């Protein structure tokens, strides 16, 4: 490696900027690749690191590398001894911390988690927990023993590696959980300031996440309908509320055996208590559409758009079969407004060409399976050489239909007596009523609303935004490792979900930030790219001042530079050494 400098004239003054380069072979050529930018190693004193020296008697002593006002001081560097130490991941944690501070969460945590007798501020531990969940989701033990020491977060937070251990992280979880309500209220206000988000229209959905272990100390851990296809595990239910743009406003945790519809009234009351009532429109899927919930929403004057069970479509068979009243709101999607015969609600009948193709393919698939299974059963009956038990055959028919419920109603199956050894044969008929209803109902679904001043297109598009809540759950589970939950205590489970929620706030903020910058909507790609930007300690042995230690940030490559430029991020070139590190280096110099 070599030291190279660039001379720049600015404001009538000459600046000499140094960089550390190495020779790299690219094909048949050898080029010099920049390892670190070292800034101005001149007499202006712009270098913020300290030079260390040792007296001949061995007494450690710190020395200033460049004195202020020494305009022409130069220091010879022994290139043979130049080396790099202490490489850390920098770019991703720098970005995460910028988001944490930009959302005002650092300031809020410092206010609500006021300093007491503890040596390490709890606000810093909260930053560590959320940043780790955002950058590299893992357990508190992994953070303490591996992840934290590999990142530059200790420099950015001025928090030593020895200060981050699993016990302090667990206590940080406990301290953070106390302030859940304050955090949600702050984020509701802050997201409007940063992204001009309006929260009059709220999207509400429910998911579950399961436990590894028995979770006997947690009364909320119960077995119920598992969206994760893990009915063998206990779980909790998480109800999430997001804005129309998908920015998270709040959540609540319910026992794992709670029915979706039982959560709606609690969530509506809780969210409106925190964020206000005026003008709210609630959008939820058909799991919330119980008669009790709809009646409660109407009686309390709340506006809503809620998906209805597919079984209610039969009440509107004539409108579905009619060719009049339908209007295209999107390519392949039509809607038809009508009134509910019992409640006088606005009913939005919708039909999708893509959904129709999918449902028809599913009906054909399950019908084919039933036909094939019944043919095998009929052949076995025909080849029987002794009398068969009709009850056993009926049970087999029941299992065939149960495994293919989507098309079971299409078949009418009876056992008819005959003169064969089995004494009966199968008679299979197709139900024409099923086929007729499938022809008009495939691809159709139903929405109910008490909003009378919105157009059909507005109502449909608002409901379709529920995909934002579904996407939020996918990110929670797949990108932020919400599942499975390894904590067993109820309070630790609640704290784990809160940290995941706050990490998703950072995630969504980055997504909206990059989307406005024309960089798509894939935060993980941004994080992985920036994670390659590292910080290093560059050790420069000098002939007169001992070793100079510079904590430098690698210069972004062209792709990273373009990315940072679009985001408007300026990375620091160097970082100041902590006092205890300067002392340690002085003793070892």
Express each pLDDT in 336-390 by its tens digit. Answer: 999 998 888 999 999 999 999 999 999 999 999 999 999 999 998 888 888 888 8
pLDDT tens-digit readout, 501-551:
999 999 998 888 887 777 777 888 888 889 999 999 888 888 777 788 888
Q: For position 514, what pLDDT does the model report?
A: 80
Q: C-alpha angle with apex 16: 12 to 21, nearest 5 degrees?
A: 155
Q: For position 22, what pLDDT does the model report?
A: 62
Contacts of 458 (CB under 8 A, 6+ apart): none
**What pLDDT band is residue 579 in, cutting at 50, 70 and 90?**
low
Q: For position 295, what pLDDT does the model report?
A: 92
Contacts of 502 (CB under 8 A, 6+ apart): 105, 130, 133, 183
% of the chain beyond a pLDDT of 70: 85
3-state secondary structure of 258: coil
Which ranges of 284-352 would DSSP assign to H, the alpha helix? 291-299, 317-321
**Given the DSSP bridges, would you call strands 303-308 and 281-284 parallel, antiparallel or unpaired?**
parallel
> What is the DSSP code (8-state) at residue 343?
T
Alpha carbon 249 to chain centroid distance?
14
3-state secondary structure of 246: coil
Is the CB of residue 528 less than 8 Å from the CB of residue 510? no
């Amino acid at each position: 490696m070599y030291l190279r400098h660039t001379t720049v004239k600015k404001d009538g003054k000459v600046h000499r900027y140094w960089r550390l380069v190495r020779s790299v072979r690219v094909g048949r050529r050898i080029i010099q690749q920049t390892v670190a930018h070292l800034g101005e190693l001149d007499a202006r004193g712009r270098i913020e690191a300290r030079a260390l020296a040792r007296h001949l008697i061995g007494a450690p002593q710190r020395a200033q590398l460049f004195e202020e006002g020494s305009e022409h001081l130069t220091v010879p560097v022994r290139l043979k001894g130049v080396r790099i130490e202490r490489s850390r991941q920098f770019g991703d944690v720098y970005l995460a911390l910028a988001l944490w501070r930009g959302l005002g969460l650092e300031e809020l945590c410092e206010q609500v988690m006021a300093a007491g007798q503890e040596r390490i501020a709890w606000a810093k531990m909260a930053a560590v927990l959320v940043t780790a969940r955002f950058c590299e989701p893992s357990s508190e033990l992994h953070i303490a023993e591996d992840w934290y020491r590999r990142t530059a977060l200790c420099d950015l937070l001025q928090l030593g590696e020895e200060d981050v251990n699993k016990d302090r992280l667990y206590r940080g979880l406990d301290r953070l959980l106390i302030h859940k309500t304050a955090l949600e209220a702050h984020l509701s206000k802050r997201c409007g300031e940063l992204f001009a988000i309006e929260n009059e229209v709220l999207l509400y959905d429910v998911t579950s996440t399961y436990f590894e272990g028995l979770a006997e100390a947690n009364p909320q851990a119960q077995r119920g309908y598992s969206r994760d296809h893990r009915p063998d595990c206990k779980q909790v239910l998480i109800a999430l509320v997001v804005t129309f743009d998908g920015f998270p406003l709040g959540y609540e945790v319910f026992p794992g055996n709670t029915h979706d519809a039982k959560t709606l009234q609690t969530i509506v009351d809780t969210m409106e208590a925190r964020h206000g009532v005026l003008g709210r429109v609630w959008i939820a899927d058909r799991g919330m559409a119980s008669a009790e919930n709809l009646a409660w929403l109407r009686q309390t004057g709340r506006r809503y758009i809620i998906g209805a069970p597919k079984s209610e479509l039969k009440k509107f068979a004539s409108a579905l079969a009619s060719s009049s009243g339908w209007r295209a709101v999107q390519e392949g999607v039509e809607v038809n407004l009508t009134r509910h015969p019992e409640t006088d609600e606005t009913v939005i009948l919708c039909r999708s060409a893509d959904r129709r193709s999918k449902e028809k393919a599913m009906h054909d698939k399950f019908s084919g399976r039933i036909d094939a299974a019944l043919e095998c059963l009929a052949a076995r009956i025909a080849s029987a050489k002794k009398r068969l038990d009709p009850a056993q055959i009926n049970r087999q028919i029941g299992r065939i239909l149960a495994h293919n419920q989507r098309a079971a109603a299409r078949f009418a199956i009876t056992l008819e007596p005959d003169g064969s050894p089995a004494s009966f044969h199968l008679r299979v008929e197709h139900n024409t009523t099923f086929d007729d209803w499938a022809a008009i109902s495939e691809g159709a679904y139903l929405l109910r609303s008490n909003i009378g001043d919105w157009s059909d297109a507005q109502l449909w598009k608002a409901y379709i935004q529920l995909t934002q809540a579904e996407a939020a759950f996918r990110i929670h589970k797949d990108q932020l490792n919400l599942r499975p939950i390894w904590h067993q205590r109820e309070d630790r489970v609640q704290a784990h979900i809160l940290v995941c929620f706050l990490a998703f706030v950072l995630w969504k903020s980055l997504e909206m930030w990059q989307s406005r910058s024309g960089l798509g909507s894939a935060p993980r790609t941004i994080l992985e790219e920036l994670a390659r930007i590292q910080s290093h300690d560059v050790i420069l042995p000098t002939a007169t001042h001992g070793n100079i230690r510079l904590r430098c940030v690698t210069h972004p490559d062209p792709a990273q530079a373009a990315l940072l430029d679009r985001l408007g991020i300026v990375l620091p070139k160097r970082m100041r050494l902590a006092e205890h590190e300067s002392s340690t280096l002085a003793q070892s110099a």
